[in-house]
Amino acid sequence: MSSYLPPPGTSDIFADEIPRWNFIESSAQKVFSLYGYGEIRTPIFEYSEVFKKSIGQDTEVVQKEMYSFEDRGGRELTLRPEGTAGVMRALMKTEAPNGVETRVYYLGPMFRGERPAAGRKRQFHQVGVENVGKISPEHDAECITMLIHFLEELKITGSKLLINTRGAEEDKAASEKALRDYFQNFVPSMCPDCKERFNKNIWRILDCKIQECQEPIKNAPDVKEFFTQTSKDYFNKVVDLLRQQGIEFEIDRRLVRGLDYYQHTVFEITHSGLGGQNAIAGGGRYAIAVPGSSKYITGVGFAAGMERLIMVQDALKVQLPINTPEFVFIASLGQVAKEKNFLLASELRKKGINVLMELEDKSMKAQMRSASKSNVTKVLIRGDDEIARNVIILKDMKTGNQTEVAYSEIINSLKQV
């Protein structure tokens, strides 16, 4: 450790920023509960297998980005790079096999060892949802609708919804063959990652951003053409339900998403206010294998990056309906008054009043200076004389008016002014 800076790609979040985080969290709670979702909290680390099996061995997240370690008991553990795998692990042990619908949302830190950049962090925060157990285009469309609703609640305008389908398990062979047949002539001139993807994860070639790969990708076949009619109908229905609601979107045949568990609908929300890392949310339908059985559990969900949501709100200069708390400041003249005021402060706080007071011995002038710096609307002043007469001075900081009130009337007076 060379300084007191946090490790690269991580940040401290200070009190003045917290209201914005709270706003996102409370908006998530508000919107998702309208759709019947309840919160789930799963561990921040899991057995590494949980991620390897769900996300896929050949994905970039598993290959290059996981924070994995062995604990003192020799267990192979990983800090969660995303929420879906852990949530599915948790639901599998409870009552959520296929057929029983479970709706959950989660919030919290995720960890990926990516190269830090604006909007790309090693510890970032996601708010995510999973609707597990049932499969229908209506579920997918409702999930996307809820994401749009959430962004509206956050006052994020100007985002773009991209949508595509990865088809079902039975569509894989034909569509991968079509991609392989097409790309085999181009692969020698493509980037090293695409060369690897050609053998391991051919769909991901479509997602490559490297310049030399763009020309072949542009003319690649649309894999949807190779899907069964059932899968095509499924996707068309999702798209139709979005259209009926007036939700704007773009079908992006290059959108494949970076995690292997996806099947059928995939989607992403991008925003031009973000620069390079322009995805604010992503998700889709997935199928995850139940360990030790041949069964899969399906679900549909998404996650949004909280740092990126805040960046977009900043770019849009969104005014949030955040109430900054107002304070009463108690100023003391003399030691006896200070001790009594210390007790008064506790009493008022227990009645729900925000109170600040100078705990060190400071002159009245210094105390009033502190009172004018903070978000203080009223000041209570008490010295020996006020104690003897059982009164207190109440100063309204907005008008400058000063009145004397009976000690027993403090609470009423604070409420009135």
Closest CA to 25 of 366, 226, 332, 306: 306
Helix axes 229-244, 137-153, angle to 10 degrees: 30
Asked if 400 and 381 touch (Cβ cutoff 8 Å), the reply is no
Tell me the closest approach of the beta carbon of residue 134 to ligand HAM, in angstroms. Answer: 14
Tell me the closest approach of the beta carbon of residue 241 to ligand HAM, in angstroms. Answer: 18
Helix runs in 259-376, H state only: 306-315, 335-350, 364-373
Query: Among 78-86, 183-191, 246-254, 375-383, which window interacts with ligand HAM (CB under 6 A)?
Result: 78-86
Q: Which is nearer to ligand HAM, 121 or 340 (CB)?
A: 121
Note whether 82 binds ligand HAM by CB under 6 A: yes
Closest CA to 54 of 83, 97, 95, 94: 83
Q: Which is nearer to ligand HAM, 80 or 338 (CB)?
A: 80
Tell me the closest approach of the beta carbon of residue 299 to ligand HAM, in angstroms. Answer: 7
Tell me the closest approach of the beta carbon of residue 258 to ligand HAM, in angstroms. Answer: 6
Q: Which is nearer to ligand HAM, 196 or 207 (CB)?
A: 207
Site for ligand HAM in 39-58 (CB under 6 A): none
**Distance (Å, rounded) from C-alpha 249 to C-alpha 362?**
62
Tell me the closest approach of the beta carbon of residue 114 to ligand HAM, in angstroms. Answer: 5
Residue 37 exposed, middle or buried by CB count within 10 Å (0-12, 13-18, 19+): buried
Site for ligand HAM in 124-163 (CB under 6 A): 124, 126, 128, 130
**Distance (Å, rounded) from C-alpha 280 to C-alpha 146?**
15
Interface pattern 267-306 for ligand HAM (x via CB under 6 A): ------------xxxxxx-x--------------xxxxx-
Tell me the closest approach of the beta carbon of residue 223 to ligand HAM, in angstroms. Answer: 19
Q: Which is nearer to ligand HAM, 103 or 338 (CB)?
A: 103
**Distance (Å, rounded) from C-alpha 49 to C-alpha 55?**
10
Closest CA to 286 of 298, 303, 275: 298
Encoding tokens for residue 30? 């508000």
Tell me the closest approach of the beta carbon of residue 366 to ligand HAM, in angstroms. Answer: 44
Q: Which is nearer to ligand HAM, 130 or 260 (CB)?
A: 130
Q: Which is nearer to ligand HAM, 221 or 258 (CB)?
A: 258
**Distance (Å, rounded) from C-alpha 31 to C-alpha 146?**
7
Site for ligand HAM in 196-255 (CB under 6 A): none
What's the order of all strands across the beta sheet hosting 123-132?
A: 38-39, 102-111, 123-132, 296-305, 279-289, 262-271, 159-165, 250-251
Query: Among 80-88, 188-196, 218-226, 316-324, which window interacts with ligand HAM (CB under 6 A)?
Result: 80-88
Q: Which is nearer to ligand HAM, 88 or 379 (CB)?
A: 88
Encoding tokens for residue 287? 């199928």
Tell me the closest approach of the beta carbon of residue 257 to ligand HAM, in angstroms. Answer: 6
CA atoms within 13 A on the CB side of 92: 19
Q: Which is nearer to ligand HAM, 128 or 137 (CB)?
A: 128
Helix axes 84-92, 48-55, angle to 10 degrees: 110
Q: Which is nearer to ligand HAM, 62 or 337 (CB)?
A: 62
Tell me the closest approach of the beta carbon of residue 70 to ligand HAM, in angstroms. Answer: 24
Closest CA to 59 of 203, 221, 228, 249: 203
The number of residues that bind ligand HAM (CB under 6 A) is 28
Q: How many Å is the Cα radius of gyration of the chain?
A: 28
The separation between CA 395 and the C-alpha centre of its own chain, rounded to angstroms, equals: 43
Site for ligand HAM in 111-130 (CB under 6 A): 112, 114, 119-121, 124, 126, 128, 130
Tell me the closest approach of the beta carbon of residue 146 to ligand HAM, in angstroms. Answer: 12
**Distance (Å, rounded) from C-alpha 257 to C-alpha 191?**
19
Cβ-proximal residue to ligand HAM, closest one: 305
**Distance (Å, rounded) from C-alpha 175 to C-alpha 167?**
9
Q: Which is nearer to ligand HAM, 35 or 407 (CB)?
A: 35
Tell me the closest approach of the beta carbon of residue 275 to ligand HAM, in angstroms. Answer: 13
**Footprint on this chain of ligand HAM (rule: CB under 6 A):** 82-84, 112, 114, 119-121, 124, 126, 128, 130, 258-259, 279-284, 286, 301-305, 307-308
